[in-house]
Amino acid sequence: MIGPEAEAAAAAIRAANDLPYSVGLILGSGLGALAEAVSDPLRIPYEDLAGFPASGVSSHRGELIAGRLEGVPVVVLAGRSHYYESGNAAAMRVPVATLKALGCDTLIATNAAGSLRTHVGPGDLMLITDHINFAGADPLIGEPGEARFVGMTGAYDESLRAALFGAAEREGIALASGVYMWFSGPSFETPAEIRLARTVGADAVGMSTVPEVILGRFFGLRVAAVSTITNLAAGMTGAELSHEETKQIGPLGAVKLERILRRFLRDRGLR
């Protein structure tokens, strides 16, 4: 189920930098700086890895970085391909499979999102506790066999969530939590859609992450995900939403998220 492309990518990575990899990180908008912190990094552009997506969104790089972060062997996927780029919900299948092939047991995904709660605003962080797949696409469509019927009840791992909350607390950084609702994008939501989202229990909305979480569960990884809030959702302020805003505000939360993730890894390394 891992597939030949991911096996080949993993073999190439092991040949150049053979570490006991344990954590995979997917970096979303404005989070690229964390990739720079990886020590003794092996860097491979996605275009040099068969089956990896050509990531085309500005502010997203497409590069795999394998090395250590806070002493922990990590594989960083800097840049993701979104469903809205190609209509292919499985665009990140090979990268996520590569994490599994390299021995990772944990996947932490990050993204930028709009908040539905005024007290969780731009620059704040939200740990995802559950999601609503409103885009209706699924990366496992067409997957053969019984394994595709992946349970999603415990998709966002409870012990990882506790560890991330603990890391945030020790860093003195507020970490909200809530339900993430996936809209396909690339157009932003309408105010009416945000009212719908609120009614069905969403706390934040965004255009990514859900496919990777499903893939992560499919490959048996423990999964956690954190949103950096870049804006209040459509209709909550007078302002029109823009990708420019996502790019500008993203780094505000990213600085805090980087501290939480480093602390999380440091504490994990000590176990």
Active site (catalytic) residues? 29, 60, 82, 84-85, 112, 207-208, 231, 243
CB of 124 to ligand HPA, least distance (A): 12
CB of 73 to ligand HPA, least distance (A): 30
> Nearer to ligand HPA by C-beta: 148 or 243?
243
Amino acid letter, 119: H
CB of 228 to ligand HPA, least distance (A): 9
CB of 68 to ligand HPA, least distance (A): 30
> Nearer to ligand HPA by C-beta: 56 or 71?
56
> Nearer to ligand HPA by C-beta: 22 or 230?
230
> Nearer to ligand HPA by C-beta: 109 or 241?
241
CB of 246 to ligand HPA, least distance (A): 4
Residue number of the CB closest to ligand HPA reads 114
Contact residues toward ligand HPA (CB under 6 A) are 112-114, 183, 188-189, 205-207, 230-231, 233, 241, 246
> Nearer to ligand HPA by C-beta: 170 or 247?
247
> Nearer to ligand HPA by C-beta: 207 or 261?
207
Q: At what angle do helices 4-16 and 93-101 cross, to 10 degrees?
A: 50
- For the chain, helix (H) and strand (E) counts, in that order, are 8, 9
Cα–Cα distance measured from residue 26 to residue 84, given in angstroms and rounded to the nearest whole number: 17
Cα separations in angstroms, 124 against 61, 117, 174: 23, 11, 8
Amino acid letter, 192: A
CB of 152 to ligand HPA, least distance (A): 21
Cα–Cα distance measured from residue 260 to residue 163, given in angstroms and rounded to the nearest whole number: 10
Cα–Cα distance measured from residue 242 to residue 14, given in angstroms and rounded to the nearest whole number: 40
Cβ atoms of 60 and 243 closer than 8 Å? no
DSSP single-letter state for residue 146: G
Cα–Cα distance measured from residue 40 to residue 25, given in angstroms and rounded to the nearest whole number: 17
Cis peptide before 122 (omega within 30 of 0): no
Question: What DSSP assignment string belongs to 94-129?
Answer: HHHHHHHHTT--EEEEEEEEEES-TTS-TT-EEEEE
Token digits for 128?
A: 């995802």
